[in-house]
Structure 1
Amino acid sequence: MTEPLLRVRDLDAHYGGAQALRHVSLHVTPGEVATLVGRNGAGKTTLLRCVMGLHAATVGEVTLAGRDIGALPAHRRARLGLGHVPDDRGIYAGLSVAEHLAFPHHDRANGWTLERIHDAFPVLADRRRTPAAKLSGGEQQLLALARVLRMGSRVMLCDEPTEGLAPVMVQRVGEVLRQAKRHGVAVLLVEQNLRFAATVADRHYLLDRGRVVETLDNSAVRDRERELLDRLGL
């Protein structure tokens, strides 16, 4: 078995007196996409934020390529290869597409060249001089994904990248995630769209009230789709 690139062990997290995560353990290997699925409030975004260092875990361990990164701030984790695509996309409205993609690589060996970025995201090449605020929602999402790949991130933490997008953009996001997967990037993906998730992911972690209650493969998702949609309230 390939060694995990990202591993989470027995992670707990709180918001004030409320416990958001309970003993969460999971892993993602190079070239693998794993999804986090669950109802709103199940703890999916909190988990991504804890992995990225944007929310403090109470107990537990986060390792990247075998290194314990639990005590590191977010910017140090980013330099080691964690890339975060938040649910609000994290785009700087006043910067152009080209300026977003001009940020220094954290890992020049793994960072995608501008040529590769433009091949994968032709719309970004066409709109490279456009301020990010004038992009459509789908174009902003592609820019957020492209920026992480440009940085050379080895692990992508993606929070609802297809939410609110037109079907053609959902398809494009799927193509980008599959490309990243082929290049050995590990992806931990929060996704409510089960049918989309099954087209890009290898495994699915089902969260309920802050716990991982099941790990499913794609065949189990297909066979139990109606049941799972009911559990997710969809």
Structure 2
Amino acid sequence: MSSFAALHHRPGAPLLLPNAWDHGSAAALAGQGFPAIGTTSLGVAAAAGLPDGVAATREETLRLARRLARGRFLLSVDVEGGFSDDPAEVAALAVELAEFGVAGINLEDGRSDGTLAPVALHTAKIAAVKAAAPGLFLNARTDPYWLGLDRPEAEAWHRLAAYQQAGADGVFVPGLADPAAIGALVQRLAVPLNVLHSPAGPALADLAALGVARVSLGSLLYRAALAAAVDVATAVRAGRPVTAEVPGYEEVQALHRDGV
């Protein structure tokens, strides 16, 4: 078992995975002692002026992964749906990421038009990735809750059962926040469950008690950074004092000078 996979098998101590969108955000998080960091597809896309979830950021994702994989932390990369519906192309992407030193990927079945990829297609992608890059931790994401589908629990289980059978190392169900449903799903699964942190949902300690293995922050940090930047700018414009604590110039320089 890889060191990254091992972080998903610590009963009562789920992996809290913060998600970065550039070198600076990853370096700052690493400096706070997080052993593993993910990328956020929304943050990567938005920083490049591109939409998320439409397979437009393959090159930006690879460029960032190449840089971050040299850091002193384990890296998981959000690859949307693999930027292709050809399982062989998705597998080739996974191999390239593994060669960089990436520890894991997140592969989703949700599509930008509000539908889900066919189960057979997503399982083919999973199987192709695991055959080509067996050491890469594959977190298979399914989006019935995220997309607000009717009876999401039934659709999610149908897909998760197929994805773990195809070789997924873990599964991710964003939008799932009901404690009873989370606990029941943990009991049914044979692989670790990843959920998305929700400010309105269960706290980290409660998720740990339910058996959740990984809690992702998704795009939350990127969106919080945008909000903080706007707050500072509008405070200065309005003549209000800037009360936010911000790192100094040299502190930020050191993040890049010293690497991650």
| TM-score, structure 2 normalization | 0.36
| Structure whose residues are more often strand by fraction | 1
| TM-score, structure 1 normalization | 0.39
Q: Which protein shows a greater Rg?
A: 2
| Structure whose residues are more often helix by fraction | 2
Higher relative contact order (CA 8 A, sep 6+): 1
